[in-house]
């Protein structure tokens, strides 16, 4: 985890694996702070006019990652936002550098088992859809991604053990303790 003594930026970015609750937590957090909620997958869908799943199928992951990067960069300059990122966003170090310029980054983690339960409808998750053993696929992806999430985040909240309302409470408490200030916007 990064050094929390840096002055924490006013925007908040949520990172973490599919199904960790970035979108639902992000919406509630935004409303709690009177912030704007931004979901990078939704921005991509609006831009392309296609679902992320269809975009993956037609153009492939590399094209998706390029769009994801453009989208992340386009958020620089915003003030008073909670950003829900895609599960793969931190894999690109340039995305991380961009987010770190203006966001306090919170990693919502969950165990592989909880993740599998939460992503129940795998059809909307192109990277899991075709797996014969989704739990093993999740475990393999975790091995690759967890160190990256860990190195990227200012704070980890394990959502496996909390109801969403408690996750929000945990985030708010940590932000307060870390001296975070809400944006005047």
Residues forming the site for ligand S3P (CB under 6 A) = 18, 22, 41, 52, 86-88, 125-127
Closest contact distance (angstroms) between CB of 97 and ligand S3P is 19
Q: Find the distance separating the first CA and the last CA of the chain, reported in whole Å.
A: 29
Distance CA 86, CA 76 (A): 17
Please identify, using beta-carbon distances, which residue of 9 and 87 lies nearer to ligand S3P.
Answer: 87
What is the number of other CB atoms lying within 10 angstroms of the CB of residue 174?
Answer: 17
Please identify, using beta-carbon distances, which residue of 57 and 79 lies nearer to ligand S3P.
Answer: 57
Contact predicate 10/181, CB 8 Å: yes
Closest contact distance (angstroms) between CB of 181 and ligand S3P is 28
Complete edge-to-edge strand list for the sheet that includes strand 36-39 = 36-39, 81-84, 11-15, 103-109, 155-158
Distance CA 172, CA 30 (A): 11
Closest contact distance (angstroms) between CB of 81 and ligand S3P is 17
Contact predicate 26/82, CB 8 Å: yes
Please identify, using beta-carbon distances, which residue of 91 and 178 lies nearer to ligand S3P.
Answer: 91
Please identify, using beta-carbon distances, which residue of 114 and 183 lies nearer to ligand S3P.
Answer: 114
- DSSP 8-state secondary structure symbol assigned to residue 9: P
Closest contact distance (angstroms) between CB of 6 and ligand S3P is 26
Closest contact distance (angstroms) between CB of 7 and ligand S3P is 28
Please identify, using beta-carbon distances, which residue of 51 and 170 lies nearer to ligand S3P.
Answer: 51
Residues in the chain: 185
């Amino acid at each position: 985890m990064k050094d929390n003594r840096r002055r924490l930026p006013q925007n908040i970015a949520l990172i973490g694996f599919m199904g960790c609750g970035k979108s639902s937590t992000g919406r509630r957090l935004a409303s709690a702070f009177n912030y704007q909620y931004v979901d990078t997958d939704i921005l991509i869908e609006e831009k392309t006019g296609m679902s992320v799943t269809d975009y993956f199928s037609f153009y492939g992951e590399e094209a998706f990652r390029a769009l994801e990067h453009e989208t992340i960069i386009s958020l620089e300059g915003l003030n008073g936002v909670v950003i829900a990122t895609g599960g793969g966003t931190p894999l690109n170090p340039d995305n991380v550098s961009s987010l770190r310029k203006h966001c306090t980054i919170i990693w919502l983690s969950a165990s592989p088992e909880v993740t599998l339960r939460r992503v129940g409808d795998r059809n909307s998750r192109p990277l899991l859809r075709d797996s014969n053993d989704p739990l093993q696929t999740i475990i393999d992806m975790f091995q690759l991604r967890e160190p990256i999430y860990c190195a990227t985040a200012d704070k980890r909240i394990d959502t496996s053990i909390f109801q969403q309302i408690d996750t929000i409470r945990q985030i708010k408490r940590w932000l307060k303790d870390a001296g975070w200030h809400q944006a005047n916007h």
